[in-house]
Amino acid sequence: RGEPRRQAVTVLGATGSIGTSTLDVIARHPERYRVHALTAHRSREALLAQCRVHRPAVAVLDREADAAWLRARLAEAGLATEVESGPDALVAVAEASAVDVVMAAIVGAAGLLPTLAAVDAGKRVLLANKEALVMSGALFMEAVAKRGATLLPIDSEHNAIYQCLPVEHRGGLARHGVTQLLLTASGGPFRGWSARELAEVTPAQACAHPNWSMGRKISVDSATLMNKGLELIEACWLFDARPEQVQVVVHPQSVIHSMAAYSDGSVIAQLGNPDMRTPIAYGLAWPERIEAGVEALDLFQVARLDFEAPDEAAFPCLRLAREAMAAGGTAPAVLNAANEVAVEAFLEGRLAFTGIAELVARVRDIEPIAPARDLETVLEADARARRAAREWLARR
Ligand code: NAD
Ligand code: MG
């Protein structure tokens, strides 16, 4: 028997928090994986450093000027990596026939088209980019089924639930005796704060998460609890659940990553240190298990696990997301787009922390909801919601 063929991996968003953790896991298993393509938005220096180590066939940057810079540096270094630029190049490296696995780790709506391209090409898709699924849920899951793609959730909560469900869990939770999904939340850096205290919060405070080190956008989402709202929508699509079947449980230690409750009273949980290399390694190797570089969980050091209900009055984003999922159609895409504009404005100091939920609610109130029949409808709803959000910001 010959050596098994190494899996070729494309990492979309390679220079980000998830992207670098993915490359860390891949580098531990050179006999199993090789890198086909690495992509980044503007971080050309970081991408150059990654190309030197991982020797991808292709590297992608957003702007041609950055791509030309990278091409020159790689040529000087005697590396054969081809460098492309722009959104079409992202799609190309996601669907290339040489690729087996695509890590979807671009942040926000920018990741939707390449992630869908990977699905359409029937790849093993490791989904970190939750915004892509939130925007296009029904279409996304339809494409997964139709194209025979293997979708593995990387978001730690969904990865945990995936591990707590029976291997075959399609066709509704009830069929498998699952009564509820328990989505754990750390509560973010402002757990227990009042609405008045929250109004004064700065971007630096919001990005200092107690348990996880992450990109800036998801850090702000974690602080507003919009991240948990997006994850609630994500769970509904991934596991064919209704919003009321997903209960958010604040668990400050972030040791239980989520749970599934069964009709016989059993609750199955997945535990581990808060390190994204665990779900990434799970997604890469599934159904096998590989070493991820994660320290073993020391329960004596953890000592206790606490649970409390989320404060939806101080953190209205969770409710806004649940309502968007219940409204259906393009409502989640509108929610996501308004939130992306709001988070950017907050990070640039143009909007108060509590203004994020306010802006999302305003846009929701004025934007019509359409059935999400096709991708064009979703992209149009996204563009309209962004315009409405920017106009509201400008008018204030
Ligand atoms: P990040 O900001 O650290 O990295 C984002 C990556 O995407 C970078 O490589 C960046 O260059 C690229 N990128 C950004 N904008 C782009 C654009 N317009 N076009 C093309 N590429 C672009 O973000 P992250 O924390 O790694 O998160 C990535 C995704 O994973 C997000 O959707 C996030 O919600 C999800 N996620 C992250 C974590 C985590 O622990 N960081 C956990 C769960 C889910
Ligand atoms: Mg998560």
The answer to whether residue 1 scores a pLDDT higher than 70 is: no
Confirm if 225 and 199 have CB atoms less than 8 A apart: no
The tokens for 281 are 């390694």
Looking at residue 377, its amino acid is: T
Cα 317 to ligand 1 centre (Å): 20
Name the nearest CA neighbour of 279 among 161, 135, 130: 161
- Pick from 17, 50, 222, 280 the residue to mutate for probing ligand 1's pocket: most ligand atoms within 8 Å of its CB: 17
The answer to whether residue 47 scores a pLDDT higher than 70 is: yes
Where do the DSSP E strands lie in 209-271? Answer: 246-250, 256-262, 267-271
User: What confidence tens digit (pLDDT) does each residue in 96-114 have?
Assistant: 999 999 999 999 999 999 9
The answer to whether residue 74 scores a pLDDT higher than 80 is: yes
Instruction: State the pLDDT at residue 168.
Output: 75
Among protein residues, the one whose CA lies closest to atom 40 of ligand 1: 214
- DSSP per residue over 270-314, as a string? EE--S-THHHHHHHHHTTS----SPPPP-HHHH-----B---TTT
- Please report the domains of the chain, with CATH numbers, ordered by start residue: 7-154 (3.40.50.720), 179-274+306-395 (1.10.1740.10)
Say if pTM beats, i.e. exceeds, 0.90. Answer: yes
Residues of the chain above pLDDT 90, percent: 94
pLDDT band at 213; cut points 50, 70, 90: confident
Q: Is 21 annotated as a binding residue?
A: no
The answer to whether residue 227 scores a pLDDT higher than 70 is: yes
The answer to whether residue 3 scores a pLDDT higher than 80 is: no
Cα 43 to ligand 1 centre (Å): 12
Instruction: State the pLDDT at residue 344.
Output: 98
- The pocket around ligand 1, CB under 6 angstroms, is made up of 13-19, 40-41, 43, 62, 105-107, 110, 128-131, 155, 212, 214-215, 217-218, 276
Q: Is 155 annotated as a binding residue?
A: yes
Instruction: State the pLDDT at residue 211.
Output: 84
pLDDT band at 2; cut points 50, 70, 90: low
Among protein residues, the one whose CA lies closest to atom 20 of ligand 1: 41
Name the nearest CA neighbour of 60 among 102, 29, 3, 30: 102
Residues of the chain above pLDDT 70, percent: 98
Q: Is 148 annotated as a binding residue?
A: no
**Average pLDDT over all residues of the chain:** 96
The answer to whether residue 334 scores a pLDDT higher than 90 is: yes
pLDDT band at 212; cut points 50, 70, 90: confident
User: What confidence tens digit (pLDDT) does each residue in 174-205 have?
Assistant: 889 999 999 999 999 999 999 899 999 999 99
Cα atoms found within 13 Å of the Cα of residue 269, Cβ hemisphere only: 14
